[in-house]
Amino acid sequence: MVKIHVKKGDESQFLMDTTVSRPVDDLLAEVAFTYNGRLKVMRLCAEIEMLADHGITLPPNMQGLNDEQIEDLKLHDEWADKCKPSGGPVFSADKIGRRNGQAPNSQMKEVLQKTVKEAKDMISKKQVASDICVTPKVVSQAIDILRGAVTIVYPMGLPPHDPIQAEFDNEEDLSGTQAALDVIEEKELSMWWAQKEFVRGKKLEDYLGKNEKTKIISKIQKRGGGAPSREPVVSEEEQKKMMAYYYKKQEEMKKLDKDAEDAYLDSEWADSGNLKRQFQGLTNIKMGPR
């Protein structure tokens, strides 16, 4: 199997296994699904953490308003009565006025928090260091366990305007957000290795040859950006070790130079009393048995 370390810029994303006979079109489709799927999981985790702290999202026309404004405008959140957490809510006000403050109790909150951590660990970039591949199946499993946890805590479901529900339904609106800039659609995805772009219609073996036991670092970006920057000759970790080694050698050389500067003090010519002893015949005196 060919192992590909996928990066975006200089930042690791995930590892994947494939074969040299894999069509580039299929490869790009899997990479796009995995990359964008990881982003979806992270968006879901962020929103579910807020759900655990402050309850469901208010209707768009009520978000950002204080209680007095809501009362003056005679607005009512009809979803608050329908979408209550299991075990009853605990009030926890949302300072930015985005969620209704009817948070799950501590037990249900823990269910959400534990599941969020599990999902993050499944698709973490740290999996690269552990030599663990992140596949489309793993991404789908992470989304499924998040959906399951939300269903446990909110058996009646979430409001359709809640971003968590929109993510589960694949109807999320990311326009005007930073998240939208991070997403790379499959048709816009460009994948590079050794300053060469993987061209659709070809196979991976057209670039890597027939050897299946190959590991490469490939960089992804949006099409039209030109070739990405080359990988450094040495890794960041190796560079740190080299710098530490040369710093140690430099300190050792400084110590040796200082010792050499002081060594002359032991020489006869540097002894201020040597001339006097010569006149008195006290030089070359050896102590020993008669």
DSSP string over 256-272? HHHHHHHGGGGSGGG-T
Question: Residue 257's pLDDT is what?
Answer: 72
Compute the distance between CA of residue 221 and CA of residue 76 in angstroms, rounded to an integer.
45
The pLDDT value given to residue 265 = 57
Confidence (pTM): 0.79
DSSP-derived secondary structure for 170-201: T----TTSHHHHH---GGGEEEEETTEE--TT
Question: At residue 259, does pLDDT exceed 90?
Answer: no
Mean pLDDT of 258-280: 62
> Minimal CA–CA distance to 119: which of 222, 39, 215?
39
**What is the side-by-side strand order in the sheet with 215-222?**
11-18, 2-8, 215-222, 189-193, 196-197
The answer to whether residue 234 scores a pLDDT higher than 80 is no
What average pLDDT does this structure show over 197-211?
Answer: 94
């490469």: which residue's tokens? 216
In angstroms, the CA 165 to CA 140 distance is: 16
pLDDT, mean of residues 26-35: 97
Residue 20 has pLDDT above 90, yes or no: yes
Contacts of 247 (CB under 8 A, 6+ apart): none
Q: How confident is the model at residue 267 (pLDDT cuts 50, 70, 90)?
A: low
Residue that has been written with the tokens 């005007």 in this structure: 176
The residue whose two tokens read 């702290």 is: 53
Do 9 and 219 contact (CB within 8 A), yes or no?
yes
| Range with the poorest average pLDDT among 165-169, 183-187, 244-248 | 244-248
Tens digits of residue pLDDT in 73-114:
889 888 988 999 999 999 999 999 999 999 999 999 999 999
Residue tagged 């979806």 (tokens): 40
The residue with tokens 């663990």 is 132
Q: How far apart are CA 102 and CA 46, in angstroms?
A: 18
Which range among 132-141, 188-197, 261-270 shows the weakest confidence by mean pLDDT? 261-270
If pLDDT is split at 50, 70 and 90, which confidence band does 286 have?
low
The 10 Å Cβ neighbour count of residue 151 is 14
| β-strands 196-197, 215-222 pairing | unpaired
Pairing relation of β-strands 196-197 and 189-193? antiparallel
For the chain, percent of residues with pLDDT exceeding 90: 67
Check residue 283 and give its pLDDT: 64
The average pLDDT across 263-274 equals 61
pLDDT of residue 262: 58
Measured between alpha carbons, how far is 260 from 38 in angstroms, rounded to an integer? 60
**Residue 290 CB-density burial (10 A; 0-12 exposed, 13-18 middle, 19+ buried):** exposed
pLDDT at position 218: 95
Is residue 153 within 8 Å of residue 104, measured between CB atoms? Answer: yes
pLDDT for the residue numbered 279 = 63
Give the tens place of pLDDT for each residue, 134-167.
999 999 999 999 999 999 999 999 999 999 999 9
User: Mean pLDDT for the chain?
Assistant: 89
Residue 28 and residue 221: Cα distance in Å, rounded?
A: 11
Q: Rounded to whole angstroms, how far apart are CA atoms 177 and 24?
A: 30
- Report d(CA 218, CA 31) in Å as an integer: 11
* β-pair type (2-8, 11-18): antiparallel
Predicted local distance difference test score (pLDDT) of residue 260 = 62
Choice between 146 and 236, residue whose per-residue pLDDT is larger = 146
- pLDDT bracket for residue 237 (50, 70, 90): confident
Kindly state the average pLDDT of the residues 123-141. Answer: 96
